[in-house]
Structure 1
C-alpha cells in the first residue's frame, strides 16, 4: 500500500508510512534491527574507548554549600570512587527564577533515574547551581527531585566549562586524589538521566563482565547486581533467587537468538 497523508498540527500535510501486513511489518522490523544492533555495538565500542581516555589531576580545592554546610569536591563523592556533576542553571538571571530552574536543566532533572542504582556501582550523582541552598530545597520539594544538589561558591563552573552553559563532568577519586575523566555538554547532555547512560560516561563503566574494559577494572556478572532501589546493601552477595531468574532469562534469550539464525 502507498503512504497515507493527513493534515497534522498547523494544517501541514503529514505523510505517513505505508500500512502493510503483519508479515511485511516483521520483515521491515528485522531489517531495521540489523542496523540498530550495529548502532548498539558501536555505542559499546565508544564507551570502551571512553574508559581508556587519559585523566587530568584536579589541583584546586573546590568548595560548595550543601544541606549540612560547606563541603569539598572530595566530600561530594560520599565515599565512592566515581562522581558525576551536572551543572544546572538555577540562579538570579536565569529564566524562571526563583520559581523554576532553566527549562532544559529541569527536563534533565525530571529524567534522572533513582540514584540508588548508580550508588550500587560506586558512583555518586550531584547537581550543582549558584542558587542558595534554601532556594534549591524549595525547588526540589516543588518539582519532586531528590538527587543531591549543591551550591557553587567559587570558580568550579568556570574551570570546568559550565559557567555559561550546562554540562556534565565526571571525576574519579583515588584516595584523596581527584581526577577529571570526562566531560559532555550540548546535545550530549540530552541522553543523560538513565542509569546506563550515566555509567557509560564513567571511567569504570557499567562494571559488567561483557564490557571491554582495561585489565583489572572491577566487573561483576551481568544482571546479577540489579536490585530494587530500596534493597541495595553494601557488599551483599547477589540474591540467589534473582540469579536463578536472570540465568533462566539469559538462557531463553540465547536460545531464541540461535533459533533465529538457524
Structure 2
C-alpha cells in the first residue's frame, strides 16, 4: 500500500510529515488524552458565554431606518416581535467584488453556513442580514444562492455607528418593550464560528435558555432537550410528544452525567 508521503513524492509535491500510524489501543489512548483538553475548552467556552450574559447593556437612543421586502422598517421592526436580535452586516453593494451577481465571497460563505432560523426563532431570537444593496438585488441574490434569512437594506449610519461600515460583524440587541439595547459585538476571527444555532445563541444576552447554563437570576430557562423540534413543527409543543419526552429524558440524564466527569 502506498503511503500519503510516498504518493506526495511520486507526484512531485512536498512530502507531508504525517503523524504516526498506531494500534487501535494506542489511538484510543491518544484520543482520551486529547479529550481532556477538549472538555476543558468546552467548559471554558461555557464560562465565557456566562460572563457574556452579564455584560452591561448600551441603550440605543438613535432612530434607524431600513428597507425590507414590505417597505420601511425600524430597528425595532427587525426584531419581528421577538425579544432578541442578531444583525450581520453583509457586503453586497456597488463597489464590492462580485457585484451585482454576488455578494462578498466571505459574507457569502457566512450566509451558506446559516442554520435554519426556525430554531433561533424558537428561542425568541431573530437573525437578519443587512447590506446597502437595494431590495430587488437582495431578493435576486437570495433566490440564486438559496438563502432564506431576512435581509434588509441599510439606509443611514447604522453600519458606521455599530462598527461594520468597513468590515463584517455581528451586533446583538435585546428589547424591553419598545426600548432597544446593544448587548454584544463580534467580528474578525470571532465571526468565523457563526452560522450554527448554538454559536448564535451563545452570543445573545439570554443564551441558549437551558437549565444547565449559568445565567443571572430570573432569566428564561427550559430543560435542555425538551424544546428541540423539527424546523417545520415549532407550532406544536415537542414536550407534549410522549416518545420525545422519553428520548429527551434520557438525553438529560446523559448530559448530567457528562457534566460531572472531569
Higher strand share: 1
Aligned counterpart, 2:55:
53
2:239, 2:245 within 8 Å by CA — same for their partners in 1? Answer: no
Aligned counterpart, 2:116:
114
Cα distance change, pair 64–25 in 1 and its aligned pair in 2 (3 A): same
Deviation for aligned residue 1:243? 1.4
SS at match of 1:151: strand
Deviation for aligned residue 1:249? 3.6
Aligned counterpart, 1:5:
5
Distance 2:210 2:143 in 1: 35
Aligned counterpart, 2:65:
63
Aligned counterpart, 1:223:
225
Aligned counterpart, 1:196:
198
1:91, 1:130 within 8 Å by CA — same for their partners in 2? Answer: yes
List alignment gaps of at least 5 residues for structure 2: none
Match of 1:139 among 129, 138, 141: 141
Cα distance change, pair 188–255 in 1 and its aligned pair in 2 (3 A): closer
TM-score scaled by length of structure 2: 0.93
List alignment gaps of at least 5 residues for structure 1: none
Greater CA deviation, 123-132 or 7-16? Answer: 7-16
Are positions 1:32 and 2:34 aligned together? yes
RMSD of aligned Cα (Å): 2.2
Distance 2:49 2:195 in 1: 16
Match of 2:244 among 238, 242, 245: 242
Are positions 1:96 and 2:101 aligned together? no
Cα distance change, pair 216–252 in 1 and its aligned pair in 2 (3 A): closer
Count of aligned residue pairs for this structure pair: 258
SS at match of 1:163: coil
SS at match of 1:14: coil
Aligned counterpart, 1:21:
23
TM-score scaled by length of structure 1: 0.93
Distance 2:165 2:71 in 1: 23
